Amino acid sequence: MAATLIRYDDHTLLPWKNGQDVTREIAVARDGSGFLWRLSIASVDRTGPFSDFSGYDRVIMLLEGDGMILDFGGHGRAVMSQPFVPQHFDGGWTTHATLLGGPLTDFNVITAQGSTVAEVHVLKAAAEGTNLSQTTSATFFHVLAGSWDMTGYSLDGTLNEGDCLQVDEEAWQGRAIARSPDALLYSIALTVKSPSG
């Protein structure tokens, strides 16, 4: 499988581990009782604690809403008031979210510490199009805003806001052409390390 389109309506709805809110799971690589990585969109409707993800690294990014302040206990805090700005933190930190306004949604990348590394970038529209490549274990291109025409091996289609392209085959190359100048694409490259390191 070189590339797979994941439409917004294909997401799996799951409750948070602590039962506070709901997550839309986009994709996951399971490993025994846990997982190597997971991509999801969470709805945060109230001020309160985040779920404990000890043993995992997290990257969270505001999609919609006024934002929130994340308090990491003895590890500082982060003000997330601007959309599409990734924030990295340890999933094992005791994290409390204080909403700056009403409900919000955010994008989550969670990776197992020591076995999976995530590299994330927000890609803006370019008049000449954007070249895409895949050289890691898996790469995802999630549409944050607008629509994108995607081309590449075994793939030709349009992704709209909320849709995602999953690429699993190494040495894959494709191209994305934005349909509007304000279109944004989120690139998530996941590298799963071999047992030997």
Q: Measured between alpha carbons, how far is 130 from 165 in angstroms, rounded to an integer?
A: 14
Tell me the whole-structure pTM to 2 decimals: 0.88
Q: Order across the sheet with 164-167: list the strands.
A: 3-6, 164-167, 138-145, 184-192, 116-124
Give the class (CATH, top level) of 12-113.
mainly beta
Q: 117-192 falls under which CATH superfamily?
A: Jelly Rolls (2.60.120.10)
DSSP 8-state code for residue 54: T
DSSP 8-state code for residue 85: -
Beta bridge partners of residue 41, listed in sequence order: 24, 107
> Is the pLDDT assigned to residue 33 strictly greater than 80?
no
Beta bridge partners of residue 68, listed in sequence order: 80, 99
Res 126: pLDDT = 81
Res 23: pLDDT = 86
> Is the pLDDT assigned to residue 197 strictly greater than 50?
no
Q: What size, in residues, is the chain?
A: 197
What is the identity of the amino acid at 87? Q
Query: Residue ranges per domain, the chain?
Result: 12-113, 117-192
Whole-number average pLDDT of the chain: 88
Res 14: pLDDT = 82
Q: DSSP secondary structure string, 5-51? A: EE-GGGPEEEE-TTSSSEEEEEEEEEETTEEEEEEEEEEE-SSEEPP
How is residue 22 written in tokens? 């709901």
Domains 12-113 and 117-192 share a fold: yes
Pick the closest to residue 105 from 65, 51, 164 (CA basis). 65
pLDDT tens figures, 99-146: 999 999 999 999 999 999 999 999 998 866 777 776 668 889 999 999
pLDDT tens figures, 159-175: 999 999 888 866 677 88
